[in-house]
């Protein structure tokens, strides 16, 4: 049974499947390309109907299913596109035996570009509504995660081209159906207004992203139209794809127009990231965006410190997209080898987390990179063959489009960008902080498009905020209590120092909690492993807990699914840090909580800081500062049951002591090694005890801490063993929380369950545990 093709535009919903099929066709061509393989018999151009289609048998129950009548496949076909006319033809060694009267093929390349290719005189206009059913899978499959979708696409077998036809081999048919069902499972028609290519739509379908987020809807068309864009949107709102999609679209455009072949390949885009973790994450997200299998993905080179520079330089040679942290990028660029010349040709410069990258401290290297990119009479020594790029290529900013993104921008700048600032001083001439730095980006347009999709709130809408007050010396205890009360949670604990991460991580581990540390003092591979372990813990339906204790190296941009709780163990030093730390939860429309642990003397300051974050947003949205202050956001103190906390104290103290012992002993080993090496060099003997006695005789600052360290160090193995045994016993014991059968143990109590039982038992939910678990706040 045959179906005929009718003329109508390609429906979005089937775009994903079409793109995939087109790619399969490409692939089968690749495999047998006669030019590449001269030994093979020469191929001749064929009408699509004349190709040697083979029937694939269908299982009985598929017969006549919603008009899906069968499948055919063809092997050994080259798809050749004429660069000038855009016409596509099919080259094949084997033509079909005289066509059967009813064996009409219509599953072919699907968009206008491929029209005449079918037979030279027929036009292809896609399917009509009746045909659409043919392409639809029999039944919607459950949604797959981007990850499983990616894995699925990797596992694909050799490409085949299929067409509707009569019955054939059942197994092959089912494989094909399964593949195609994957591709069409998400309806991406809500992306239609953005006018994206079928290949990009196929990717979005694979990622199961049914519609654009507000920043994507607003900024992608501007970027596609070639404008410079400064985009502001709350944390977790999809800014990465906001620049990723326009880059992919340009990549696909250039590829199909063969504009990137012939000449030596230069990167299409350069992405700057403030942290190594974020750089690797950008790589992952863009790779996922390009992993639908519908097209050959761009190659991405990620340049960060801590990993092999040689390897990164090698990767750079073939890169379509370069992602880098400023330090390593500058190191690689300044190593020469024509890298600047190549980077001058980029069409996109992306500055992610712009306010951080362009802030004091980070800006020097960024500025050097920008200067190098924009230098017109660049150092000829850098260029190969003595060629001067300024003679042969246009000034870089003329071709380069700049895309700048963050969730936070300086308030004054925000107002000015939005056209609400005081008159006088334009963006390009002002010497004020961020404005001046932005001007260094050399936008190609005088006024970049400023898009602020969340003028009223920098924080995600699903975020709840609260604080817990305790004396400074009990922060560890309250942290533990908080984590116990949030059982089965993926939590991120922020501290202000590497030492704190080194101390708190083993403290929690001693208490049986799955804590992982992350800080910039760790080797890069260990950092990436930590993020990986934290990410992997708890992706199942009932997420197992996992806790990351980190410095602000994890505050920006990290996108880890299902982080339900952010705890500020140390207070953030600035309002934007509060926004970005808190933004690690409540991402992509999910709920999440952000809790600050603060000492009594810190409470007033914290309230001011959080109120400032909320007021800043209000002011940026046209309210006067006094109006915003009047409506001031007041962060609530959470009601945590102090009796429960008190009962957790003995185990917390022991866990802390054991952590201190470990740290002190490790420190001692390091000091000993250092001193021994120094003594050896000086030719004297080193006796650690004697040295210790001399040092302890001296008075001075930090003596109390040193004494404690010494005591910890001096604990014998037996004493440490006894402490461990004591802790083990304590962890087994009930923490009587006032209701007879309820208790907390080391085994991460499921407080939700506890509260539910309690509720069922007649007592009031949340009463004795406090209201921490649901934060007890009105929606802010």
Ligand X SMILES: Nc1ncnc2c1ncn2[C@@H]1O[C@H](COP(=O)(O)OP(=O)(O)OP(=O)(O)O)[C@@H](O)[C@H]1O
Kindly tell me the burial class for residue 94, based on how many C-beta atoms sit within 10 Å of its own C-beta (0-12, 13-18, 19 or more): middle
For residue 589, the minimal CB distance to ligand X (Å) is 8
What span, in angstroms and rounded, lies between the C-alpha atoms of 386 and 235? 46
Q: Which stretch binds ligand X (CB under 6 A): 21-29, 79-87, 235-243, 754-762?
A: 235-243
410/660 with CB nearer ligand X: 410
For residue 543, the minimal CB distance to ligand X (Å) is 16
For residue 264, the minimal CB distance to ligand X (Å) is 32
Does residue 267 bind ligand X (CB under 6 A)? no
The site string for ligand X over 241-260 (x = CB under 6 A, - otherwise) reads x-------------------
209/348 with CB nearer ligand X: 209
For residue 235, the minimal CB distance to ligand X (Å) is 4
268/555 with CB nearer ligand X: 555
Does residue 274 bind ligand X (CB under 6 A)? no
For residue 313, the minimal CB distance to ligand X (Å) is 28
For ligand X, the binding residue among 198, 212, 267, 293 (CB under 6 A) is 212
Footprint on residues 554-613 left by ligand X (CB under 6 A): 557, 559, 583, 587-588
What per-residue string of b and e applies to 737-753 under the rule 16 or more CB within 10 Å gives b?
Answer: beeeebebebebbebee
- Judged by DSSP in three states, 292 sits in coil
- Cβ neighbors of 74 (< 8 A, separation 6 or more) are 28, 51, 52, 53, 54, 92, 160, 161, 163
For residue 556, the minimal CB distance to ligand X (Å) is 7
526/588 with CB nearer ligand X: 588
249/641 with CB nearer ligand X: 249
Residue whose structure tokens are 């924009």: 374
Say if CB 231 and CB 215 are below 8 A apart. yes
Q: Which stretch binds ligand X (CB under 6 A): 42-50, 82-90, 207-215, 754-762?
A: 207-215
237/594 with CB nearer ligand X: 237
- Cβ neighbors of 227 (< 8 A, separation 6 or more) are 401, 445, 448, 449
Kindly tell me the burial class for residue 344, based on how many C-beta atoms sit within 10 Å of its own C-beta (0-12, 13-18, 19 or more): buried
For residue 648, the minimal CB distance to ligand X (Å) is 33
Among candidates 409, 393, 399, 390, which has minimal Cα distance to 443?
A: 399
What span, in angstroms and rounded, lies between the C-alpha atoms of 642 and 635? 20
Kindly tell me the burial class for residue 497, based on how many C-beta atoms sit within 10 Å of its own C-beta (0-12, 13-18, 19 or more): exposed
Does residue 209 bind ligand X (CB under 6 A)? yes
What per-residue string of b and e applies to 676-694 under the rule 16 or more CB within 10 Å gives b?
Answer: eeeeeeeeeeeeeeeebee
Beta-carbon neighbour count of residue 28 at 10 Å? 21
Strands (E), 551-708: 565-568, 592-598
For residue 396, the minimal CB distance to ligand X (Å) is 26
53/209 with CB nearer ligand X: 209
Say if CB 460 and CB 236 are below 8 A apart. yes
Q: Which stretch binds ligand X (CB under 6 A): 234-242, 410-418, 516-524, 643-651?
A: 234-242
What span, in angstroms and rounded, lies between the C-alpha atoms of 342 and 339? 5
For residue 228, the minimal CB distance to ligand X (Å) is 19
Chain-centroid distance of CA 657 in Å reads 37
90/409 with CB nearer ligand X: 409
For residue 296, the minimal CB distance to ligand X (Å) is 22
Q: Which stretch binds ligand X (CB under 6 A): 205-213, 341-349, 391-399, 475-483?
A: 205-213
343/453 with CB nearer ligand X: 453
243/478 with CB nearer ligand X: 243
Does residue 236 bind ligand X (CB under 6 A)? yes
Q: At 114, list the tokens.
A: 């491929």
For residue 283, the minimal CB distance to ligand X (Å) is 13
For residue 492, the minimal CB distance to ligand X (Å) is 12
For residue 278, the minimal CB distance to ligand X (Å) is 7
For residue 299, the minimal CB distance to ligand X (Å) is 21
159/212 with CB nearer ligand X: 212
Q: Which stretch binds ligand X (CB under 6 A): 8-16, 17-25, 238-246, 637-645?
A: 238-246
What per-residue string of b and e applies to 612-622 under the rule 16 or more CB within 10 Å gives b?
Answer: bbbbbbbbbbe
213/397 with CB nearer ligand X: 213
Does residue 235 bind ligand X (CB under 6 A)? yes
For residue 225, the minimal CB distance to ligand X (Å) is 20
What span, in angstroms and rounded, lies between the C-alpha atoms of 300 and 319? 5
Footprint on residues 374-413 left by ligand X (CB under 6 A): 407
For ligand X, the binding residue among 18, 96, 239, 449 (CB under 6 A) is 239
- Judged by DSSP in three states, 447 sits in coil
Kindly tell me the burial class for residue 480, based on how many C-beta atoms sit within 10 Å of its own C-beta (0-12, 13-18, 19 or more): buried
Handedness of CA 457, 461, 463, 469 (dihedral sign): positive
Kindly tell me the burial class for residue 38, based on how many C-beta atoms sit within 10 Å of its own C-beta (0-12, 13-18, 19 or more): exposed
C-alpha distances (whole Å) from 29 to each of 51, 80, 93, 366, 535 are: 13, 8, 11, 44, 40
Does residue 292 bind ligand X (CB under 6 A)? no
Among candidates 522, 523, 528, 519, which has minimal Cα distance to 570?
A: 519
233/655 with CB nearer ligand X: 233
220/648 with CB nearer ligand X: 220
Q: Which stretch binds ligand X (CB under 6 A): 9-17, 51-59, 237-245, 411-419?
A: 237-245
196/316 with CB nearer ligand X: 196
C-alpha distances (whole Å) from 316 to each of 274, 342, 423 are: 19, 10, 45
Number of residues in contact with ligand X, rule: CB under 6 A? Answer: 18
Does residue 238 bind ligand X (CB under 6 A)? yes
Binding site for ligand X (CB under 6 A): 209, 212-213, 216, 233, 235-241, 407, 557, 559, 583, 587-588
């Amino acid at each position: 049974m045959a179906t005929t093709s009718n003329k109508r535009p390609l429906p979005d919903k089937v775009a994903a499947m079409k793109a995939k099929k087109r790619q399969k066709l490409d692939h089968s061509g690749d495999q047998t390309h006669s030019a590449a393989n001269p030994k093979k018999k020469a191929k001749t151009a064929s009408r699509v109907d004349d190709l040697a289609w083979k029937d694939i048998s269908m299982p009985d129950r598929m017969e006549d299913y919603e008009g899906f009548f069968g499948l055919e496949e063809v092997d050994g076909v080259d798809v050749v596109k004429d660069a000038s006319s855009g016409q596509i033809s099919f080259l094949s060694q084997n033509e079909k035996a005289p066509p059967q009267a009813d064996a009409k093929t219509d599953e072919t390349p699907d968009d206008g570009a491929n029209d005449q290719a079918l037979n030279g005189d027929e036009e292809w206009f896609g399917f009509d509504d009746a045909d659409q059913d043919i392409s639809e899978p029999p039944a919607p499959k459950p949604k797959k995660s981007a990850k499983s979708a990616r894995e699925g696409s990797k596992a694909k077998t050799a490409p085949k081209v299929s067409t509707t036809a009569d019955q054939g081999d059942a197994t092959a048919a089912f494989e094909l159906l399964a593949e195609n069902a994957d591709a069409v499972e998400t309806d991406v028609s809500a992306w239609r207004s953005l006018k994206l290519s079928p290949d990009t739509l196929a990717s979005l379908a694979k990622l199961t992203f049914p519609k654009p987020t507000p920043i994507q809807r607003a900024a992608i068309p501007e970027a596609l139209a070639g404008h410079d864009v400064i985009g502001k949107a709350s944390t977790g709102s999809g800014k990465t794809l906001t620049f990723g999609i326009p880059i992919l679209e340009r990549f696909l455009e250039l590829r199909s127009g063969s504009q990137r072949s012939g000449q030596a390949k230069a990167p299409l885009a350069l992405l700057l990231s403030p942290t190594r973790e974020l750089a690797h994450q950008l790589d992952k997200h863009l790779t996922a965006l390009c992993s639908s299998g519908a097209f050959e993905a761009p190659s991405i080179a990620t340049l960060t410190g801590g990993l092999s520079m040689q390897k990164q330089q090698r990767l750079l040679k073939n890169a379509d997209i370069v992602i880098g942290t400023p330090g390593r990028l500058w190191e690689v660029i300044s190593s020469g080898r024509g890298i600047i010349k190549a980077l001058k040709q980029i069409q996109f410069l992306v500055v992610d987390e712009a306010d951080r990258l362009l802030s004091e401290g980070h800006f020097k290297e960024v500025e050097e990179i920008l200067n190098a990119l924009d230098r017109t009479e660049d150092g000829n020594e850098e260029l190969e063959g003595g060629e001067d790029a300024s003679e042969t290529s246009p000034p870089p900013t003329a071709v380069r489009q700049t895309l700048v993104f963050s969730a936070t921008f300086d308030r004054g700048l925000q107002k000015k960008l939005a056209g609400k600032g005081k008159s006088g001083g334009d963006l390009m001439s002002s010497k004020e902080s961020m404005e001046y730095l932005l001007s260094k980006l050399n936008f190609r347009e005088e006024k970049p498009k400023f898009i602020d999709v969340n003028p009223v709130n920098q924080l995600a809408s699903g975020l709840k905020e609260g604080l817990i007050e305790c004396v400074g010396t009990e922060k560890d205890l309250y942290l533990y209590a908080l984590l116990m009360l949030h059982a089965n949670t993926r939590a991120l604990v922020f501290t202000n120092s590497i030492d704190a991460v080194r101390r708190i991580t083993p403290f929690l581990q001693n208490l049986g909690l799955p804590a992982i540390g992350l800080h910039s003092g760790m080797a890069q591979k260990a950092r990436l492993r930590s993020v990986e372990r934290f990410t992997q813990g708890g992706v199942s339906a009932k997420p197992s807990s996992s806790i990351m204790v980190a410095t602000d190296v994890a505050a920006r941009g990290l996108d880890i699914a299902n982080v339900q709780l952010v705890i500020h163990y140390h207070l953030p030093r600035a309002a934007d840090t509060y926004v970005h730390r808190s933004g690690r939860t409540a991402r992509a429309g999910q709920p999440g909580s952000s809790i600050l642990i603060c000492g009594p003397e810190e409470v007033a300051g914290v309230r001011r800081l959080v109120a400032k974050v909320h007021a800043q947003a209000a002011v940026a949205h046209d309210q006067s500062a006094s109006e915003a202050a009047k409506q001031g956001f007041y962060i609530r103190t959470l009601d945590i049951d102090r009796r429960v906390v008190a009962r957790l104290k003995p185990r917390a103290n022991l866990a802390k002591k054991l952590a201190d012992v470990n740290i002190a002993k490790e420190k001692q080993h390091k000091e000993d090694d250092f001193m021994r090496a120094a003594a050896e060099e000086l030719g004297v003997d080193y006796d650690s005890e004697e040295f210790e006695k001399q040092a302890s005789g001296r008075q001075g600052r930090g003596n109390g801490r040193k004494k404690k360290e010494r005591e910890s160090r001096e604990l014998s193995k037996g004493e440490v063993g006894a402490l461990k045994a004591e802790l083990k016993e304590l962890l087994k014991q009930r923490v009587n929380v006032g209701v007879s059968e309820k208790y907390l143990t080391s085994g991460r109590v499921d407080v939700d369950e506890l509260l539910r039982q309690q509720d069922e038992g007649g007592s009031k939910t949340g009463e004795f545990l406090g209201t921490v678990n649901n934060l007890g706040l009105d929606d802010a």
